[in-house]
Amino acid sequence: MSEGYDWTEVTAPGIEEIEALAEAARAALPPEFARAAQGVAIRVEDFATEAMLAELGIENPFELTGLYDGIPLTEKSVMDPGGHTDVIWLFRRPILDEWISRGNEPLGTLVTHIFVHELAHHLGWSDGDISSIDRWWE
């Protein structure tokens, strides 16, 4: 950027932009995962709630970029009570911090990675299962 660049009109990507990137990630999924992903809502907030952080034992809200809230497909039963929609939560401010700290990844790539990680939990994968095939955080 040039020294005389006018930054007054520049803003950080908002909730709507992060949601659009997550929806683009969903649309680009291979067919074998696309159907399962359609049944999951995507919610974007600036940060996780205090209750979410407490349940996970996380004190710093910048440490949580995404969260799957629901019953994994491998644990669902026809006997489960209805009415609860599975949700993939994405947290904008921690995502933007991660994006800035990486410095070399497009924002869409990071949002896609977080979305797919949380979708893997919906599919019944553990963090160990995910990390065995995804070395992203190394």
4 within domain boundaries = no
Name the residue with tokens 């291979």: 30
Q: What is the pLDDT of residue 67?
A: 96
Q: Is residue 114 part of a domain?
A: yes
Which token pair is 103?
A: 């410095």
**Which of 5, 137, 123, 14 has its CA nearest to residue 71?**
123
Query: CA dihedral in degrees (134, 126, 29, 21; nearest 10)?
Result: -80
Which residue(s) pair with 66 in the sheet? 90
Q: Which domain holds residue 65?
A: 12-70+85-133
Q: What is the pLDDT of residue 100?
A: 93
The pLDDT value given to residue 4? 72
Residue 6 lies in a domain: no
> Where do the DSSP E strands lie in the chain?
40-45, 66-69, 86-91
pLDDT score of 89? 98
The answer to whether residue 1 sits within a structural domain is no
Domain for residue 5, yes or no? no
Torsion of CA 53, 56, 60, 66, to 10 degrees: -80
**pLDDT at residue 124, rounded to an integer:** 83
**Residue 45, in any domain of the structure:** yes
Paired strand residues for 41: 87
Instruction: Name the domain count of the chain.
Output: 1
Instruction: Say whether 95 sits in a helix, a strand or coil.
Output: helix
Q: What is the pLDDT of residue 72?
A: 83
Nearest Cα to Cα of residue 26 among 127, 130, 131, 122: 122
pLDDT, tens digit only, all 138 positions of the chain = 456 778 788 788 999 999 999 999 999 988 888 888 888 999 999 999 999 999 999 999 999 999 999 888 787 766 666 667 899 999 999 999 999 999 888 999 999 999 988 998 888 877 776 766 565 555
Residue 7 resides in a domain: no
